Structures are given as C-alpha cells and as structure tokens.
C-alpha cells in the first residue's frame, strides 16, 4: 500500500483577527467582551499552529488606525495586552515559542513596552513556533520607516535594501494570509510582504475561529499552485 505524501504546509501564516466587536454585539455584550474572547481564540490557534509544526505565525493585534477608536476601548486593549503577557509568557516560554513584536510602540504605555521587550528577550533563543505580534503596526509605516532608515544611513534604496530594512526582515514573507470576519481587504497589514501570499477569507468571526477552520484553510492552501509570476508547470 502506497502511503500518501504529507500535505503541503505553509511555513509562515499571517492572520487578521477580525470580528471581535461584531461577535460581542450579536450577543448583546460590549466590545471588550469580544476582545477578551478573541484572546481565547488566539491562544487556540497558537497551540494549533505549534502542534502542526508551522514555523511562523504573525497575528495582527493592533493597527495604527486602531488609535482612532474610543479612548476607553484603546485603554482597555492596552490593559488586555499587559494581562495576556503576564498570564501567558511563562507557558509560551516552556513550550519553546519565540516571541517577536513589530510596530511603532512610541505611544504605548512604558509598562507594556517593557513587558514586550522582556518577553522577546526571554524567548529569543527558543526554537519552536515563532509568534510575531503586529501591534501598533501599519504596512505603509513599515515601508516608510525602512526608507527613512536607509536614507539616514546614506544607503541606496532598491528592492533588496528596502526589504532588508523592514520590521520583518529576518523572517520569510507569509505563505498564507487568513482574514476572519467576512471582510476582503488587507487593512494596511504587511503591504510589502504579502505580494505573493495566498489570501484566504472566511466569514467566521474571530472568537469562533477554531482548529477545524484552520485545517480547512491549510487544505485550501495545499490545493494552490504558487507560481510567483511564472507560467503553470506542464504535466
């Protein structure tokens, strides 16, 4: 009996975790209730990716545009990030997860910035799943800061140098983007890095997203032929 080949898995998955507020509203609850349940879903998908030997998972946790939300909601999100790091960092470290944080953190509470720096330092040498959190992140900002850093250093700006100056430079670009919540747009997330990424959209709101739906996305990805601008392979 011939065994089937293993499925083709993405090396790097990026996720736009959309739908927390709508999920809460459907249940007659305030938006913070949805954000807290979104944390549960994030933990579930981190564990699932680790179990499936995905190398890198990037989660879009807080965009630069999110600063325009009501002050009370933004303040709660900052406190929620602090709470999650306090509760989860020990377990993540024990499970070999390496944490990275990308984005502009200049307006973040100093306590949260210190916690992110400490978490990244603690897990730097771990060899399991790399969990990259995009927080205070915007794709346009990332490209602009890369260009500014090259100009400041007197270096030429070209495709290779710009890519090397992005916040994600040490990691390969995502193979698969998953966006929950029904929207079909990138929302200024990893604009450079997603040039040839396979895009998978689902109507499921983020708090309801689970391992089975992740496996559906992985099966869809395995069916794709990634050509990167080349013509299809002849049979």
Residues labelled as active-site residues: 18, 66
Closest among 156, 190, 186, 152 to 174, alpha carbons compared: 190
Residues 116-135 pLDDT 10s: 999 999 999 999 999 999 99
pTM over 0.75: yes
pLDDT for res 6: 60
pLDDT for the residue 227: 79
Kindly write down the DSSP assignment for every residue of 65-107, as one continuous string: GGGGS-HHHHHHHHHHHHHHHHHHHHHHHHTTPEEEEES--TT
Q: What percent of the chain has pLDDT over 70?
A: 95
* Long-range CB contacts for residues 86-90, cutoff 8 Å, separation at least 24: 86/115, 88/43, 89/119, 89/122, 89/123
50-65 pLDDT, tens digit per residue, is 999 999 999 999 999 9
The contacts of residue 149 (CB under 8 Å, 6+ apart) are: 165
DSSP notation for 150-200? HHHTT----HHHHHHTSTTTTSPPPSEEEE-SS--S-TTSSTTTTTT-EEE
Q: pLDDT by residue (tens digit) across 8-67?
A: 999 999 999 999 999 999 999 999 999 999 999 999 999 999 999 999 999 999 999 999
In the chain, the domains with their CATH numbers are 12-137+176-223 (3.40.1180.10)
The larger pLDDT score, comparing residue 226 to residue 201, is at 201
């Amino acid at each position: 009996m011939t065994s089937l080949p293993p499925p083709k898995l993405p090396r790097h998955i990026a996720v736009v975790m959309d739908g927390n507020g709508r999920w809460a509203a459907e249940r007659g609850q305030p938006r913070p209730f949805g954000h807290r349940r979104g944390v549960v879903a994030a933990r579930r998908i981190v564990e699932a990716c680790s179990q499936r030997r995905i190398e890198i998972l990037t989660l879009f946790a807080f965009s630069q545009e999110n600063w325009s939300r009501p002050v009370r909601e933004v303040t709660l999100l900052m406190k929620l990030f602090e709470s999650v790091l306090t509760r989860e960092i020990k377990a993540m470290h024990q499970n070999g997860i390496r944490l990275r944080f990308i984005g502009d953190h200049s307006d973040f509470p100093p306590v949260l910035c210190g916690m992110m720096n400490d978490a990244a330092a603690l897990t730097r040498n771990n060899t399991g799943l790399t969990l990259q959190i995009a927080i205070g992140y915007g794709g346009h900002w990332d490209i602009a800061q890369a260009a500014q850093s090259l100009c400041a250093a007197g270096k030429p700006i070209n495709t290779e140098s710009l890519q090397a100056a992005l916040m994600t430079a040490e990691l390969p670009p995502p193979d698969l983007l998953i966006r929950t919540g029904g929207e079909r747009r990138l929302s200024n997330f990893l604009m450079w890095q997603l040039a040839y990424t396979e895009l998978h959209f689902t109507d499921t709101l983020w708090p309801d997203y689970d391992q089975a739906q992740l496996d559906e996305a992985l099966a869809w990805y395995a069916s794709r032929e990634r050509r990167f601008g080349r013509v299809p392979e002849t049979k």
